[in-house]
Amino acid sequence: MMDTPDHAGRIDDVLKKIERTRQARRHKFYLRDEKITLSHGSGGKATHNLIEGVFAPAFSNPLLDAMDDAATFSINGTGQRLAFTTDTYVVSPLFFPGGDIGKLAIHGTINDLAMAGAEPLYLSAGFILEEGFPIADLRRIVASMAEAAAESGVAIVTGDTKVAQRGKADGLFINTPGGGVVRAT
């Protein structure tokens, strides 16, 4: 079947109606869960329900309401658009065939920016380290992150480090916010 302008217009109308319905339901969404489970962090239906039931109503704004992997926005008066995202990594094991948590963090954030049509430029690296975590493993992960960033042409320009009590952080968690310039279309 060929897409005609009339057919494409009807598709656009249906998609807009679906989006309006989704937005209207967001404010009526009820999260039935009473406690956080591992499935709330899996990226599936439970994650969606948590976002719709807790975070979306509390933080609602036009950029967040789009529910994209990265927010894209204009810089007032410049005609330039930026993309901004964040991702957190809590994988186990920390080292696996083909990489580690650090390499995954860099490439995952870069991917989110690329999916928003942006050229990734800058990242931040936040670390939550468990007391007793081996410095040798930290050096190995940080070196992997530096290599992945250099290969991708991005710079890690800021960061933060916190230490949790022994037994409270499963070794290491990494958060990597990132920003880039949206490519002209």
Give the per-residue pLDDT at 3. 57
Per-residue pLDDT of 156-180, as tens digits, reads 999 999 999 999 999 999 999 999 9
The answer to whether the CB of 127 falls within 8 A of the CB of 185 is no
Q: What is the pLDDT of residues 35-58, one digit of tens each?
A: 999 999 888 888 988 998 899 989
Class of domain 68-185: alpha beta
The CA-atom distances, in angstroms, between 5 and each of 14, 75, 76, 183 are 14, 33, 34, 27
Q: Where are the domains of the chain?
A: 1-67, 68-185
pLDDT at residue 65 is higher than 80: yes
pLDDT at 174: 98
pLDDT digits (tens, 9 = 90+) for 95-151: 999 999 999 999 999 999 999 999 999 999 999 999 999 999 999 999 999 999 999
Q: What is the mean pLDDT of the chain?
A: 90
Q: In whole angstroms, give the CA distance from residue 97 to residue 10.
A: 48
pLDDT at res. 29 = 65
